[in-house]
Structure 1
Amino acid sequence: MLGENSLEARGETFFLNLRFLLIVTVFTGNAIEPLIGTSSGLHSLYMWIFSFHMPLFVLVTGYFARKSMTGAAGRRMLMQIGLQYIIFQSLYSMLDASLFHVNGIHHSFFAPYLLLWFLASHAFWRLLMLGMGKWAPAGQIAFALFAGVLVGYLQLDGVWFSISRTFIYLPYFVIGYHFSFPALVRIYQQWTKIAAATVSILLFIILMIWGTNLPLGWLYGSMTYMQLGHQEWYAGLYRLGIYGLQLAASLAFLGWVPYGVSRMTDWGRRTLYVFLLHGFVVRLAAISGLYAYIGNSVGAILLLLASISLTVLLAQPTVKRLLHPLVEPSVSWMVTLQRAALRRSL
Structure 2
Amino acid sequence: MFHAPNAFQRAPLPPATRESEPRRRADAVLTATPPATAGNQPSAAAPAKRRDAYFDNVKYLAIVLVAMAHSWGLLLDDSRAARALYMVAYTFHMPAFIIVSGYFSRSFDMSARKVKRLVTGVAVPYVVFETAYSLFKRYADDSPDHPISLIDPWYLTWFLAALFIWRISTPLWQSLRHPLPVALVIAALASFSPSIGDDLDLQRVLQFLPFFVLGLQLKPEHFQLVRRREVRLLALPLFAGAALVAYWVAPRMQLGWFYRNSSAPELGAPWWSGAVMTLAMFGCALLLTIGFLAWVPRRHMWFTVLGAGTICGYLLHGFLIKGAGFAGLHNRYAWLSEPGGLVLVSLVAASAVTLLCTPPVRRVLRFATEPDMNYAFRRDATGL
Q: Is the TM value for this pair above 0.5?
A: yes
Q: Distance in 2 between matches of 1:160 and 1:197?
A: 40
Asked whether the equivalents of residues 13 and 265 of structure 1 are also in contact (C-alpha less than 8 Å), the reply is yes
Pair 1:326 & 2:368 matched: yes
Pair 1:65 & 2:65 matched: no
Report the TM-score when normalising by structure 2. Answer: 0.80
Hey, what does 2:202 align to over in structure 1?
163
Pair 1:30 & 2:101 matched: no
Hey, what does 2:347 align to over in structure 1?
305
Hey, what does 1:343 align to over in structure 2?
none
How far 1:104 sits from its partner (Å)? 11
Q: Distance in 1 between matches of 2:261 and 2:38?
A: 39
How do 1:167-206 and structure 2 match up within 5 A?
167-206=206-245
SS in 1 for 2:195: coil
Q: Which of 138, 145, 149 in structure 2 is aligned with 1:97?
A: 138
Asked whether the equivalents of residues 106 and 113 of structure 1 are also in contact (C-alpha less than 8 Å), the reply is no
Q: Distance in 1 between matches of 2:187 and 2:278?
A: 8
Alignment deviations for residues 254-311 of structure 1 (CA, whole Å, 9 cap, x no partner): 2321111212321111110111111111122222333222523222211110011111
Q: Which of 132, 144, 153 in structure 2 is aligned with 1:112?
A: 153
SS in 1 for 2:298: coil
SS in 1 for 2:266: coil
Asked whether the equivalents of residues 131 and 148 of structure 2 are also in contact (C-alpha less than 8 Å), the reply is no
How far 1:238 sits from its partner (Å)? 2.4
Asked whether the equivalents of residues 68 and 77 of structure 1 are also in contact (C-alpha less than 8 Å), the reply is no
SS in 1 for 2:303: helix
Alignment deviations for residues 124-179 of structure 1 (CA, whole Å, 9 cap, x no partner): 1012212333223xx21121111111111223265321111111111111111221
Alpha carbons of structure 1 residues 158 and 236: separation in structure 2 relative to 1, 3 Å: farther
Hey, what does 1:6 align to over in structure 2?
39
SS in 2 for 1:269: helix
Pair 1:56 & 2:96 matched: yes
Q: Distance in 2 between matches of 1:207 and 1:106?
A: 36
- The higher-RCO structure (CA 8 Å, 6+ apart) is 1
Pair 1:41 & 2:81 matched: yes
* Ranges in structure 1 where 5+ consecutive residues have no aligned partner: 340-346
Computing the radius of gyration over CA atoms, which structure comes out larger, 1 or 2? Answer: 2
Asked whether the equivalents of residues 124 and 368 of structure 2 are also in contact (C-alpha less than 8 Å), the reply is no
Asked whether the equivalents of residues 71 and 321 of structure 2 are also in contact (C-alpha less than 8 Å), the reply is yes
Q: Which of 309, 325, 349 in structure 2 is aligned with 1:270?
A: 309
More helix by share: 1
Alpha carbons of structure 1 residues 103 and 225: separation in structure 2 relative to 1, 3 Å: farther
Tell me whether 192-201 or 24-33 shows the greater mean CA deviation.
192-201
Pair 1:134 & 2:167 matched: no
Pair 1:246 & 2:246 matched: no
How far 1:189 sits from its partner (Å)? 1.6
Asked whether the equivalents of residues 158 and 223 of structure 1 are also in contact (C-alpha less than 8 Å), the reply is no
Report the TM-score when normalising by structure 1. Answer: 0.89
Asked whether the equivalents of residues 7 and 182 of structure 1 are also in contact (C-alpha less than 8 Å), the reply is no
Alignment deviations for residues 47-99 of structure 1 (CA, whole Å, 9 cap, x no partner): 01001001111011111223555412320133122211111111111121121
% identical aligned pairs = 26
* Ranges in structure 2 where 5+ consecutive residues have no aligned partner: 1-16, 20-36, 42-48
SS in 1 for 2:165: helix
Q: Distance in 2 between matches of 1:248 and 1:102?
A: 41
Asked whether the equivalents of residues 197 and 255 of structure 1 are also in contact (C-alpha less than 8 Å), the reply is no
